[in-house]
Structure 1
Amino acid sequence: MPPLNISRPSPVTFSLLGIPGLEHLHVWIGIPFCSIYLVAVVGNVTILVVVRTERSLHEPMFLFLCMLSVTDLVLSTSTLPRMLCLFWLGNRDIAFDACLTQMFFIHSFTAMESGFFLAMAIDRYVAICHPLRHTTILTHVRITIISIIVVIRGVAFFSPHPILLKQLPYCRTGIIAHTYCEFMAVVKLACVDIEATKSYSLIMASVIGSGDAILIAVSYAFILRSVFQLPSREASFKALGTCGSHVCVILVFYSTAGFSIFTHRFGKSVPSHIHIFIANMYLLLPPFLNPIVYGVRTKKIRDHVLRTLMVKVA
């Protein structure tokens, strides 16, 4: 028997399967997904407009919030419209280069999301634990440097993903068992040994995710220690409520992202429809929740929006 020739060119298109086992519910699943996406877009655009027009909001917390909003918009827009085409129009095919581009945006901006969560946790730590030095520590120059580092880190660590996949030969079916072009789902279609490639992706995601999560946990531990030392019980409860809502959003992001990452490697017994459904959550829920938790629950932003609405109604 002649040896198998694996030097095949990259496929022209892939075909997205969606959520395996739930294909008959795709139309109905698309309705809440679309609703969440619309709320995420409106909420994050509102934050950007409010902070841009209100000079009193040009503070470290709100500047980092704007960067998080931009990240959320890119992350959700790079996946949701294409996902809805799959759910509602049955359009499964995605061009190979478009698939790699989507993958780059998903993974690099997920890393940026993690980085901006850390930046905002550091800002809250400085604001609560060192309030008198807040503006001198987090100057506009330092905010810019932190933001550039977060962006460069996301791009540098995850640019190799599409480059690596571009070089692989594909001799298996072109069907991606997912709703979007996720790295692990695509690399499984290659017909060569992919252990080194999979390990690189897992290590990068683990180092960035766990490193940021540990630093966030340390920041909030110091914040909680300072909160419990406040003389006013009312002020303590208010600070705890704010920090608690922030922590809940962060936990949703890291738990769903971590579940998705490690299930590919270790969760062979997890049903695929549960895995893929949860994998969609870290792209859907943070962009949806961030404007509510960081925007609606922030008095300055809420007051500005209410004043604007009252002026327009009058």
Structure 2
Amino acid sequence: MTTPAVRIGALLPTREMAILNDFSVAPLLDFARRAESLGYDSLWTGDSLTARTRLDPFVVLSAVSSVTSTIGLGTAALTASLRHPLLGANMVSSLDHASGGNRLVLGLGAGFPMPESEDEFTNVGVPFAGRVGRLDETVRYWKTTWASRGSDVTSHEGKLWQTGGLDRLAAPATAGGPPLWLASSDTPKVLARVARLYDGWLPFLPTTAAYESAWGQIQDLAGAAGREGAVTPALYATLTINPDAAKAKQALEDYLQGYYGRSLEIMSTFQAYGWGSADDCAEWLAGYIRAGARHIIIRIGSLDPGDQLEQLAADVLPAVRRLV
């Protein structure tokens, strides 16, 4: 059996711009053009209104799609429950058409369990409690909507929403709609949800051992559900490159203090962080690929990520592909 190709993407620095209080779109478009020309496979952006403020992901990706041609586009991650699923379905279809179809992947999150996220839900009138079930129903709603053309099922009848006439919405350019990945951890309930409902798994697990174990469980569960091969194993990883490992670590420490207000020691207990020379970073990423990851999304651990974007492309990505 042929091993699926490894794809490597870069996260657009929308949150970094918010930290610097610079919401200019032009630098994002320049970043996108450079990433495509450097050979990255995909570009991603996050989503937050007030918890981790940044520009709207649908608007950002639509703008990016207009200055690129083939590079994949994605959300990492979209807090889908902040929008009514009917509006969300239409926004996704619109972006899918704006980008030409077959370029979009939606990494979806339920909402991180912290006070800032709870306030964000409250601000738009959505209960924070029950957010996991709300996200799963949103996914079922969207899949019903996008499959409704030519189908006898044209309504969603769920616990939270009952909507008819879904076949009147604009169908996405991509048949069946864009893939929907769950940005999540590796708890048993999460793995079962991924295997049962989602098209991909997007964790940021801090060790390759944890990744390999969880991915094995997803494969077993998906196979038992008749969905063998239906889930894409991905990874959200943060990298800082410097030949001097101590300087790379300090730069990452400074970045995390500015981004989260928390230390690397704390954040690395539950998120994936790599630093050091290009070879060090390549070997670290290759470990996850050996553990099963097939689409890696790299967040550059710097408030000024331009130079690192090029260094990653020139030194780290070729080394990763050689190692695996």
> What TM-score do you get using the length of structure 1 for normalisation?
0.25
Hey, which of these two has a bigger chunk of strand by percent?
2
Hey, which of these two has a bigger chunk of helix by percent?
1
Name which one, 1 or 2, has greater alpha-carbon Rg: 1
Give the number of the structure with larger relative contact order, counting CA–CA contacts within 8 Å between residues 6 or more apart: 1
